[in-house]
Amino acid sequence: MAALPYLHPALYYIFLFTLHRKTLIRRYKFVAKEVGDNKLVFELGCGPGFLVEYLDKTCTYIGWDMNKKFVKHGLSRGRNLELKNIFNFADYPKNDVCVIVDVLHHITPNEKTIVKNTLRKTKKLIIIEPYKAFNFPLPRLVRKYYDRALGDWDGINPYARREKWDYSNDGLKEYFIELGANKVTDMGKDVMAVFQSLQDNQNMLIKR
């Protein structure tokens, strides 16, 4: 069974608010500003689809998640969510902006595959991830059980893999730049990275 925050959308929101506090709303507004208007937005690992409430009303939103309760909750509120495996690359819709928030550290060591495949279908990719996601000042066994009961355990990727997401702030920024990010910036305890697709980068160079 997954950790408590993943059992119900309300518990998940409390978990996010406790973790991020004032930064939680700021991150959604920041992403919405980066997205702009009149865009087709595709979010991977969207949870209950909180982001859609902050996007400009001219945007079209598609969200994928593997948590049935989250998807059901989002659909009941009129959000366009689908119960889909985010590794189902063949079904990715072509989109203007792809958003991935708090997902890569859940799927490590396979995050590079996600980044590579999203950039094939989007013009812009926005990623927000924590640095040192699992490095609490506690013994490893205690951290593991905390993760299992109240932390990041979503019932899919085991802790032994996820705890390897062990970047410092600067280290995570450097990692995103190595992956091809055009811009990285601090977002509370997280780092936000913005990627332009290869085709979009080529178009920008032509315009110059």
If one counts the domains in the chain, the total is 1
Q: Is the pLDDT of residue 120 over 50?
A: yes
Angle at 183 between CA 94 and CA 33, to 5 degrees: 65
Q: What is the dihedral of CA 59, 203, 88, 60, to 10 degrees?
A: 10
Find the domain containing 66 and state its range: 4-207
**Reported confidence tier of residue 14, pLDDT bands at 50, 70, 90:** confident
Q: Please say whether the beta carbons of 63 and 43 come within 8 A.
A: yes
| CATH code of the domain covering residue 45 | 3.40.50.150
pLDDT for 46-96, tens place per residue? 999 999 999 999 999 999 999 999 999 999 999 999 999 999 999 999 999
Amino acid (one-letter) located at 6:
Y
DSSP 8-state code for residue 189: T
DSSP 8-state code for residue 110: S
Angle at 157 between CA 182 and CA 35, to 5 degrees: 30
What percentage of the chain has pLDDT greater than the value 70?
A: 93
**Reported confidence tier of residue 126, pLDDT bands at 50, 70, 90:** very high
Higher pLDDT, 202 or 78: 78
pLDDT at residue 147 in the model: 78
pLDDT at residue 198 in the model: 62
Amino acid (one-letter) located at 184:
V
pLDDT at residue 135 in the model: 65
pLDDT at residue 202 in the model: 45
